Every structure is written in C-alpha cells, then in structure tokens.
Chain A
Amino acid sequence: MDPKQLYQEVILDHNKKPRNWGRLDAATHRAEGVNPLCGDHIWLALGLEGDKIAAIAFEGEGCAICKASASMMTMAVKGRSVADAETLIEHFRAMATGREAVATSGAVLGRLTVFAGVKDLPSRVKCAILPWHTLHAAFRHEATATTEGAADPVAQDA
C-alpha cells in the first residue's frame, strides 16, 4: 500500500483540526487510552443520556493516525446509541486488522474507510484502533484501555 493513500487529506485535516477536541465537565463516562510502546495517549469523555451519546470529547497526544481516528470516531458516534457505537467499533477493528473487506465494512463505516490502509502497516494498526478501544472501555466504565498485551488487536486477529 502507498502510505500516502493513508495520509490523505481527510486524515491530515482531522489531525490538524481535531473535532470534539477538549474536555467534558459533566461527563458520565471517561476512559484513558494508552499505547506505551508508541506513546499514543488519549483521554475520552462521554455524556450519555439514557442510551444516547449526547456529548463526546477527547484530548491527547499521538500520531496523526491516532488523532484523526479519534476525531472521526467522535463525529461518527455522536448522537448515536451505545449499541450502534459498539457495532462501529466491531467493524472498525475488523477493517483495520484486515479481517473484513472494506467493501463489507464500508456500508457501516462510511467515511471511516479512509483508515482501511492501516491493515497493510502492521505497526500502525494499533494507532488507528486505540480510540475505539478507549470508547469501548468508557462504555464499560473501565478507566483505561490499551492495544498492547492481551488487548493487542493484531495478535488476536493474527
């Protein structure tokens, strides 16, 4: 794969101007996502109203792939139900690890398919998936998420 396909305008734009960037004082759910091996680190906060993600915000430091993935994730799940978000998480993971063809994930993921290219860059898969692991952890009231060790998406799906 040509990494420039991955580093396309939309990802570079979200990296430069991440959406839903900041804190959420009245958060109902929070989680911190860390990849100690590469230094990606994000803080995610949710405001759930019943089953609906009414508010979402994130902050962090990391590579462009991680930051853009987090930014686009917040846009994709805002206003949706937790169950819808969990479905997105599943398909995003499947697409990023190459378990599911983009043609299949595309119907569910829409614009998020810009990240499909990471499947050919094994060392970068975790960068794209970290925000999604963090979202999953926040739903479950787990304080921290990672894509290392037992939660390694690449090892699990290998």
Chain B
Amino acid sequence: MSANLLRRAAAQPASTLDVERIRGEFPLLHNVRVHGKRLVYLDSAASSQMPQAVIDRLVRYRTTEHANIHRGVHYLSETATAAYEGARKIARAFVNAGDEREIVFTSNATDAINLVMHGYGRRFIVAGDEIILTQLEHHANIVPWQMLCEERGARLRVVPINDAGELLLEEYERLFNPRTKFVALAHVSNALGTINPVRDMIASAHRRGVPVLIDGAQAVPHMNVDVRHLDCDFYAFSGHKMFGPTGIGVLYGKAGLLEKMQPFKGGGDMILAVSFEKTTYNVPPHKFEAGTPPIAGAIGLGAAMEYLNAVGQDRIAAHEHALLEYATDLVGGIPGVRLIGTAKEKAAVLSFYVGEIHPHDVGTLLDQEGVAVRTGHHCAQPLMQRFGVPATVRASFACYNTFADVDALAAAVRKVQQLFA
C-alpha cells in the first residue's frame, strides 16, 4: 500500500496535492452525513480521521498477527513483536531520532509529558528550582509541571505572548537564571496555531545547560519534525492527531537522559529481574513501557507515519498553508468576525469569535450545517484569559480539507450571524 502510494505521490508535481484522491482514502468523510448535509470536518486538531491504509493495517494485525509481545517463543508472539518493534523503527525515522532506544511508546502526548515529569522531573527538580513554560501551552503541558512544583516547592515561570499570539522571545531570555532547571514548550499552539521558534529557544536553553521538552502534538501532523535538527531533549506527540489510532503516543528522549531517568510505571516488561528484595530495571525504552502496551495502536501509528511519508509532509504543509490563507481572508473578512491568533508563523488553525455570539451557540449552529468545529477553551484556559474570552470557535485543517470546506464554514458563519441579527 505505502509503496503504491509513494509511486502515485511521486508522479505529481511537487507543489500540489491531489486532495480529491486523499479524501477518497478517508472512508469516514464519505460515510457520514450530518443533519442531512455533507460532513465538513474542521476538528482535526482535536482528533484527525483515519485513512483506509491505517484501518487495513489494524485489521490485518487483529485478524492475523495478534499475540502478546516480548514474551512468547511462538510464531504469533514473534510476529506481533516484530510488528510492534517495526513501528518503533518507523517512528525513529519519522522524527529522525538517532536510535530506536530513544522512542518510547506512551498512550498519548499527555502521557509522554507525564512520563518526563515523573521520570526526569521528580528525579532532578528540587525546592527553589524553576521551570519555564509559555502562555500558549495546552493544559497537558501545564498541569504536570504544576503538580511537580507543588510537590517539590519549585516554581513555574511563564513566557508571555503578544496580541498576535507570538511568544515574546526577549522575555523568554530574561526568565532564565541559575535556578532554571527545565523548559517545556509547545511546538505549535493547539488553540491559535502559532508555530514557535523552538529550535532557537532550545539553543538558548542549552547555552545555560537547561534541558527542553517540546510538546509536538500539533506539529507532527503538519510539518517535518527532525528532533536532531531541533536538538530537543524530549519530544512528545499523539497518534490520533496524525491519522493514527487513539491510545498511542510517542516520547522521543535523548538516550543519555532516558538512561538517567527513573521509571514512571512499574510492572512487567520494564524489568530485567525481580525478587522481593530488589528489581533490576530494563533499559530504555522498555524501562518506560510497563505492562502490555497498545500493540495495535503502535502498529497503526506506524502505518499512519508511512501514510504521511507517502503523501509528503512538505506538500501537506503547503496545501494547509494555502487553506489557512484562504480561510483567514474569507472568514476573517466577514464583518464582526474577530480572529484570535494572527501569528506570522501559523499552522492551519483558525480560532475566532463571531460578534458577541457565544462560541457554543456558533458551534451548535455550525453543526447544523454539517460543519464540525471545536468550541471551548481548547484546554488552554490561561491563553483564553490572555485574550479576555472564555472560549473560541476553532476550525482546524488537515490534508483532506478543501477550499470548498472553507466556503462551507464561511457560509455557515454568515447564517449564524443572520439568526442572531
């Protein structure tokens, strides 16, 4: 399947994406009608849909390959283990990590961040230490660090943003002091779409000897991510936002750091030897994968990465950028619509407010037109407070969205305005 896709993809001009062919590969987009209307799915930042190639891979695993991994000597167990570890190889290449041992399967990005909080934070952060975050963070990259600070008597420092939703980098530089022990920041803001200059920010932290975790949940589906080029110490992301299944995520961690970390969860598979006196832990990544993992999830995620590779991340990024520009003009141009987040570097996310109409009313009425958007605080309440709104309407785009989808969004927004006029 993937080889076939690669061939087809290569035959197309480098700058264009055959969106109709891509849409054809996502069965849900055609199977579902919403209130009698064509589904316009603009909520991929919450969870993306799954292409047939991933669904087929999951079916193949479940119907011909399933057994527990790393345990049995029988045929099926060896097959499942090879498929699971094969997914790790794909993930390593996907983010260009140097070694497979640096790829830990987790249940999602949140789980990956919590792993670092427990494994690294609880080992090395002490009273008086400071952790730098940003105003743009998802709760998943705030709450674990807050829990750690409460437990240890450490302190959170927050990088502020400007009105466009861009980080104030000079303020970031100013937050560093000898007590700074960790930096955790989003690659792409889930609520606004802002792409942060993480490579420079990582270099800055490293000049002071401070390790950096990047929450990449919103980045990996939309751009090429190279962890060695970024030189991040940790990189966390989720499978279900990049056409994979739910229940699977990845933590990339530099081998040297993973080795120094304490385990997060105890159990089977993360040990080398257990007696009631002492347990000898396994080496990374297994040290952090206690219990039977989501085997199918990992294999499905591997298939999703192959799908993204085949379509081409650069071409996806170019298509989504064109969608964003079109949507910014069309929806942002509607009188009364206020865009929240207008950073120069943005992923395909459009967060907005329609006049005085509450986002939940907008969301319910857009749904009536078949348009699925997210409304709410997007698990980023500190960010909403910064803009003085309780919530926004968020349309987020993926490679299967079309300009017609944007037209449908704009038409539906105008309809809401008419109802409330």
A56 at the A/B interface (Cβ < 8 Å)? no
Is chain B's interface secondary structure helix, strand, loop, or mixed overall?
A: helix
- Min CB distance B143 to A, Å, is 14
B292 at the A/B interface (Cβ < 8 Å)? no
> Chain A CB within 10 Å — which of B357, B359, B390, B420 has the most?
B390
How far apart are the CA atoms of A68 and B137 in the complex, in Å? 34
Given the contacts A37-B376, A39-B391, A61-B390, A3 and B360 also touching, CB distance less than 8 Å: no
For A3, give its contact among B358, B368, B377 (CB under 8 Å).
Answer: B368
A7 at the A/B interface (Cβ < 8 Å)? yes
Q: Are B376 and A65 in contact (CB under 8 A)?
A: no
Please name all residues of chain A whose beta carbon is closer than 8 Å to the beta carbon of B364 when the two chains form the complex.
3, 6-7, 121, 123-124
How far apart are the CA atoms of A61 and B358 in the complex, in Å? 9
Please name all residues of chain A whose beta carbon is closer than 8 Å to the beta carbon of B271 when the two chains form the complex.
none
C-beta contact mask, A2-18 vs B, less than 8 Å → 1, else 0? 11101100001001100
Given the contacts A3-B368, A39-B390, A39-B391, A63 and B360 also touching, CB distance less than 8 Å: yes
How far apart are the CA atoms of A16 and B358 in the complex, in Å? 12
Please name all residues of chain B whose beta carbon is closer than 8 Å to the beta carbon of A151 when the two chains form the complex.
none
Please name all residues of chain B whose beta carbon is closer than 8 Å to the beta carbon of A61 when the two chains form the complex.
390
Q: Are B390 and A4 in contact (CB under 8 A)?
A: no
A54 at the A/B interface (Cβ < 8 Å)? no
A64 at the A/B interface (Cβ < 8 Å)? yes
Chain B, residue nearest A8 (CB): B419
A38 at the A/B interface (Cβ < 8 Å)? yes
Q: Are A39 and B367 in contact (CB under 8 A)?
A: no
For B361, give its contact among A2, A41, A64 (CB under 8 Å).
Answer: A64
Chain B, residue nearest A16 (CB): B420
How far apart are the CA atoms of A27 and B367 in the complex, in Å? 41
How far apart are the CA atoms of A2 and B37 in the complex, in Å? 13
How far apart are the CA atoms of A6 and B419 in the complex, in Å? 12
Within 8 A of B (CB), among A97-117: none
Chain B, residue nearest A64 (CB): B361
Please name all residues of chain A whose beta carbon is closer than 8 Å to the beta carbon of B391 when the two chains form the complex.
38-39
Given the contacts A3-B368, A38-B391, A63 and B361 also touching, CB distance less than 8 Å: yes
B210 at the A/B interface (Cβ < 8 Å)? no
How far apart are the CA atoms of A6 and B357 in the complex, in Å? 15
B76 at the A/B interface (Cβ < 8 Å)? no
Given the contacts A3-B364, A3-B365, A7-B365, A39 and B377 also touching, CB distance less than 8 Å: yes
**8 closest cross-chain pairs (CB), A and B:** A39-B390, A63-B358, A63-B360, A64-B361, A63-B361, A39-B391, A3-B368, A3-B364
Footprint of B on A, CB under 8 Å? 2-4, 6-7, 12, 15-16, 37-39, 41, 61-65, 121, 123-124, 127
19 A-B contact pairs sorted by A residue (CB < 8 Å): A2-B368, A3-B365, A3-B367, A6-B364, A12-B419, A16-B420, A38-B390, A38-B391, A39-B358, A39-B390, A62-B358, A63-B358, A63-B359, A63-B361, A64-B357, A121-B364, A123-B360, A123-B364, A124-B364
